[in-house]
Amino acid sequence: MFPLLGQLLKQMLSRPFTNLFPAKYAPKSINKYLQGVQEGKVKINPPVEVPDDFRGKITYDREKCIGCKMCIKVCPAKAIEFKEEEKKIRIYIGRCIFCSQCNDVCPVDALHMSKEFLLASDNKLDENFIVE
List residues near ligand SF4 by CB under 6 A: 58, 65-71, 74-77, 79-80, 89, 91, 96-102, 105-106, 108, 110-111
Q: Which is nearer to ligand SF4, 27 or 67 (CB)?
A: 67
Query: Residues 75, 76, 77, 79: what is their CA dihedral angle, to the nearest 10 degrees?
Result: 10
CB of 127 to ligand SF4, least distance (A): 17
Q: Which is nearer to ligand SF4, 37 or 72 (CB)?
A: 72
Q: Which is nearer to ligand SF4, 32 or 69 (CB)?
A: 69
CB of 88 to ligand SF4, least distance (A): 7
Q: In this structure, are residues 127 and 92 in contact, taking their beta carbons and an 8 Å threshold?
A: no
The amino acid at 102:
C
CB of 34 to ligand SF4, least distance (A): 28
Q: Which is nearer to ligand SF4, 27 or 101 (CB)?
A: 101
CA dist., res. 105 & res. 83, Å (int): 19
Q: Please state the three-class secondary structure of 4-49 as a single string.
A: HHHHHHHHHHCCCCCCCCCCCCCCCCHHHHHHHHHCCCCCCCCCCC
